[in-house]
Structure formats: C-alpha cells, structure tokens
Amino acid sequence: MKSRYSALVLIALLAACSGIPLRSLPRLMQFQNELLNANPAEFMFAVQMDARMTPPAGAVPTLQLIIRPKEPGAFEAIDKKLPMRFTATSAGALGLAAAPADRRWLIYSFPAESQAELLRIQGQFKRIQAREQGKGGSLSVGISQEGLAVSDPAYANTRWESWLQTSRRDGFFELWSGSVAELLKQAKSGEASRVQKSN
C-alpha cells in the first residue's frame, strides 16, 4: 500500500537541516520506511567530537517520533521521546573509520525499554496505515543530541559529526556535521520556534 505520510527528518530538536551532507540525502529519503521497519536492537547513533570534550553526566541522545493525522481526530496522535544509552562497542567493530588522535567516538543504542516502545510504535503506525486506507498524515523524526555538547567557547569551532545506523546490513551514514557552535545555535533556534508556535 502506498504511504501518504509526509516525512520530515529533523536534526537537533527539529531544527534547520543545514549541515546534512548531500551524499546522505538518498538515505534520508528512505528513512521513514527504514525506521518503521527497523530492528530496534540494531538502531545506533554515533557522534565524533573533540577528544577533550566530556558530555554532561547522564546526557544521552533522544529519538523523537511525532505522528499526526491529516484530518484532526482521524486517529490519536503519537508523540514519543525514546532515550538512548552509551555503548562501549568500538567504532571499528561497527565499520566506522578510526577517529583522529585529537578526536573520539561516542556510540549510543536503545536500552530494552526504548526498544520495546519503538516496536510498539511501529505496530501502531502500521495499524493506522491499514485502518485509515491512505488518508495520510505526517511523520516527524528528530534526534536531540545537543545535550551531549559542552557550551564552552574552547569547543565552539571544533567539528561535530553525527552518524546513524538503522540496520547492521546497511551500516552507518553521516547524518549531520558542523561546528559545536552551529549545533547549539540550531537547537536554540528550534526551541524558540516551538515556543512561538505554542503561544
């Protein structure tokens, strides 16, 4: 069945998409289908950052899923945030290139609770598609990652790279890259936008 859901892939708390490599656009175009059929145990998120930077204690990236009907009331909207957890798996074992000496990788995956919730959402979405017979809606996907960055001028111009894997078979692709300052600016802009829309 042809999906009539419009997919929006938004990075850093639904902020602007500057910093997404052109070579990644084909993967992003398939992201809706990949995510809704992914094995949650294989979903991983990796960040390469300045080796001197240590994320705040307890900070982890979060996957946000928002599914809304085209016609209000057609079905109950879904708005979920699924936290990830740090994993000690080495970048090399995952097919990621070794980080330069002055940089390092941090790799995250879903804990059991988030895996179970993603499975539930996948099933719910497929039931909605079948029941609504293509009436449509929107699917927004965001990855909140700015909480990992340290707001310190010493790191402002250092490079930040985000990589995503939806399946082991397909491996990682670069999701976003830019400076730490750009990452934090986009996150702040996204927050301001949501505040304005809610007023």
Domain extents in the chain: 5-198
Q: What percent of the chain has pLDDT over 90?
A: 52
Which distant-in-sequence residues (6+ apart) come within 8 Å of 98 by Cβ? Answer: 91, 92
Q: Is 171 left (phi over 0), alpha (psi -120 to 50) or beta?
A: left
Among 53-57, 154-158, 195-199, the range scoring the smallest mean pLDDT is 195-199
What does the pLDDT average to over 34-61?
A: 94
**Residue listed under structure tokens 């994993």:** 87
Strand, coil or helix: what is 184?
Answer: helix
- Structural contact between residues 78 and 125, judged by C-beta atoms closer than 8 angstroms: yes
Joined tokens for residue 175? 């999701």
Among 14-23, 72-81, 110-119, 162-171, the range scoring the smallest mean pLDDT is 14-23
Query: Residue 72: what pLDDT?
Result: 84
Q: What percent of the chain has pLDDT over 70?
A: 78
Closest CA to 108 of 147, 158, 136: 147
The pLDDT tens digits for 80-99 are 999 999 998 899 999 999 99
Query: Residue 156: what pLDDT?
Result: 95
Query: Residue 63: what pLDDT?
Result: 93
Strand, coil or helix: what is 168?
Answer: coil
**Residue listed under structure tokens 């946000």:** 64
Closest CA to 140 of 43, 19, 17, 21: 17
Neighbours of 25 (CB within 10 A): 11
186 alpha carbon, distance to own chain's centre: 14
Strand, coil or helix: what is 112?
Answer: helix
Task: Please report, to the nearest 10 degrees, the dihedral formed by the alpha carbons of residues 21, 22, 26, 32 taken in order.
Answer: 50
What does the pLDDT average to over 163-187?
A: 91
Is residue 23 very low, low, confident or very high in pLDDT (cuts 50, 70, 90)?
low
Strand, coil or helix: what is 36?
Answer: helix
Check whether 41 has a pLDDT greater than 90: yes
Joined tokens for residue 39? 């094995």
- Higher-scoring residue by pLDDT: 25, 2: 25
Check whether 5 has a pLDDT greater than 60: no
Query: Residue 79: what pLDDT?
Result: 93
32 alpha carbon, distance to own chain's centre: 12
Kindly report the average pLDDT of the chain as a whole number. Answer: 82
The pLDDT tens digits for 63-81 are 998 888 888 888 888 899 9
Query: Residue 158: what pLDDT?
Result: 96
What does the pLDDT average to over 15-22?
A: 56
